Amino acid sequence: MSSAPLRQARIDLDAYRANLDLVREWMDPVAVMAIMKADAYGHGLEPIALAAVDAGIRWIGVLTVPAALRLRSIGVGEDVHLFTWQHDPDLDFRDAIDSAVDLGVSNVAELQRIVEAVDQRPARVHLGVDSGLHRDGATPADWPALVELARDAQRNGRIEVVAAYTHLAESSDDEDSAAVAVFDAAVEIAEDLGLDVPMEHVAASLAGLERKEFRKDMVRMGANLFGIPGADGVSAADLGLEPVMTLTASVAKTKRVPVDTGVSYDYTYRTATETTLALVPVGYADGVPRLAQGRIEVAIRGKRYPIAGRVAMDQFLVDVGDDDVQTGDTVVLFGTGEHDEMTVLDWGRSLDTIGEEIVCRIGARVPRVYEGHEVEGRVGAYLRGERP
């Protein structure tokens, strides 16, 4: 009897480390900020961050102040800069400033709230430019006022301007070039207004790989480090990157059914012959889209089988024909691709999305299990519940 767990996401910290080393080698001498928003793209923030810090990473991007404070609380020290750029409108910035959390700021009102929260030490601020994505970032119209406030607050010792940054639409080469020109003009305006900009960061995974001239002083990399590069038609393996997450389950039950049996809700799948159905205990609550039939195949004993019928909240079925599939057999939903299973990039393509969306949606009910030599070190201590 096999004892494969009902469902789990195996996180290979050695793969994360290998990706990190490769990306740093490519970017050298430009600094790499490892992006870990959304619970490290669903891989688990704390273990990924500790692995990155052990590997010598000195910049981590976590989106929010509470996530940054979680990392400080598990011993990620101030030699590691923690960049945040999406702030709750009611957030009290005092803890962030006291813990030297880097704050991305794109509007005057927010910068004013930060300046007012300063007590013992200056707030570390990165000024955001909207170069065309129209998310956060100050528009060209709002930029001079933001710069002037930052300049004055820095002169008063209340903030330290660390950098200017923007984020690109990754739409086309020409449009990205135009966006970077908008950013460059904003930096020039800042310098003309008497604000020194010590550092610039613009590129994420895709532009960092493909547009060397956009690397500036630092690139912000998420997807590449998780082994899910976004370049069209390029696989992780082509680049030498390894997918970090492998999603598996175990066959919960098998059932012999006659020809023309309707399967799962709505009977969207009917068996073509007498066949065996295998029940896989992973559903849309765990991040497998309800409409995955016809798009996703899972691997059992090294062979691919299509999802049969609607994915339910907690389970789906596969049609395994007359093959010898047994209760307890391991089902690989996605992995490295080495054993002929689909990769998360394949899932993204098949489901009309990107790999990032797939890994971010793997539900909290799926235990993350950490593997790799890193679990011996600080990550291991953390996972055993030891706190600094």
Ligand X SMILES: *Cc1c(COP(=O)(O)O)cnc(C)c1O
From 144-152, 187-195, 200-208, 339-347, span contacting ligand X (CB under 6 A): 200-208
**Which residues in 281-357 belong to E strands, given as ranges?**
297-300, 303-308, 316-321, 330-334
Q: Does 50 bind ligand X (CB under 6 A)?
A: no
Closest to ligand X by CB, 34 or 333:
34
Among 204, 209, 249, 344, binds ligand X (CB under 6 A): 204
Give the list of residues 6+ apart from residue 361 with CB closer than 8 angstroms, or none.
42, 287
Handedness of CA 338, 344, 348, 351 (dihedral sign): positive
Among 9, 68, 147, 221, binds ligand X (CB under 6 A): 221
Among 84, 154, 205, 275, binds ligand X (CB under 6 A): 205
265 catalytic per annotation: yes
**Identified catalytic residue from 212, 253, 255, 265:** 265
Could you give the CA distance from residue 242 to residue 246 in angstroms, rounded to a whole number?
11
Neighbours of 60 (CB within 10 A): 25
Q: Which residues of 272-299 are buried (b: 16+ CB within 10 A; e: fewer)?
A: eeebbbbbbbbbbebbbbeebbebbbbb
Least distance between ligand X and beta carbon 273 (Å): 44
Which residues, 126 to 165, sit near ligand X by CB under 6 A? Answer: none
Q: Does 287 bind ligand X (CB under 6 A)?
A: no
According to DSSP, residue 210 is labeled H
Closest-by-Cβ residue to ligand X is 222
Among 9, 35, 53, 187, binds ligand X (CB under 6 A): 35
Closest to ligand X by CB, 221 or 311:
221
Q: Does 222 bind ligand X (CB under 6 A)?
A: yes
37 catalytic per annotation: yes
Give phi and psi for 79, each to the nearest 5.
Answer: -70, -10
Cα→Cα distances 355→119, 169, 352, Å = 42, 17, 10
Residues labelled as active-site residues: 37, 265
Q: What are the residues binding ligand X (CB under 6 A)? A: 35, 37, 167, 204-206, 220-223, 356
